[in-house]
Copies of this chain bind each other. A is one copy, B any other.
Amino acid sequence: MDRKRADIIADSLEGMIFDGTFGDGDRLDEVQLAERFKVSRTPIREALQRLAQSGLVEQIPRRGVFVRQPGPVELIEMFEVMAELESACARLAATRITDAALRDLLETNARCNAAVAARDADGYYRENERFHAILYRQSGNSFLEQECLRLHRRLMPFRRVQLRLRGRLKQSMAEHEAILAALEDGDGLRASEELRNHVAVQGEKFHHLMASLKPAAE
């Protein structure tokens, strides 16, 4: 379980920002939230500060906190950084990965493939998460691993959306295969470039998706 009420509230608010309950620019009122969660303002304020440090909300002195949904440009930027971090994981993992982990990676990818074939979106998502988590771990750099998990988590809601793009899943699996091949060869440079491309393309796809949705909404 969580540390204290403030943490539970922070997670809850995070979810509400992710799922769009709170939109960009919305003000999060302390007293409203306090009565909503049946607590005093103190734990609410703690939770809001945590969100502010994660970058999910902006805290303006003596004014309040406001939801800060990343725009298209910032999203591309975040995916670009994610791509670089994962690319670094791949490069390091190529020389450091254990045989057991490599097998695990292959098996995870196989399950991922099976999920795609079965049109099991949740299954795909779960195994894909695992695939990337293994890579982070196998970088052999736990600080890098933590940073990757942090940003990965931040991008989760946006990654999820672009799974719906036609043909993206198959392409994604092909990229996984290429990454695996490079890792098996111990080719760090190729692994890093394959993985960088694999992640960066997600940002671009998301961008295209947004661009195609925007005019449709008008």
Contact = CB atoms under 8 A, between A and B. Distances in A.
A122 interface: no
Contacts of A49: 46, 49-50
A81 B143 CA distance: 8
Interface stretch (A23-31, A72-80, A111-119, A176-184): A72-80
Interface in A168-212: none
Contact of A142 (B46, B50, B77, B84): B77
A214 interface: no
Interface in A73-114: 74, 77-78, 80-81, 84-85, 88, 92
Interface in A137-181: 141-144, 147
Query: Which of A77, A84, A85, A88 neighbours the largest number of chain B CB atoms within 10 Å of its CB?
Result: A84
Majority-rule SS of A interface residues: helix
B144 A81 contact: yes
A140 B88 CA distance: 20
A80 B89 CA distance: 11
A74 B143 contact: yes
A61 B144 contact: no
Interface of A: 3-4, 45-46, 49-50, 53, 59, 61, 74, 77-78, 80-81, 84-85, 88, 92, 141-144, 147
Given A4-B61, A80-B144, 15 more contacts: A3-B59, A3-B61, A49-B49, A49-B50, A50-B53, A77-B144, A78-B143, A80-B141, A81-B85, A81-B141, A81-B143, A81-B144, A81-B147, A84-B85, A84-B88
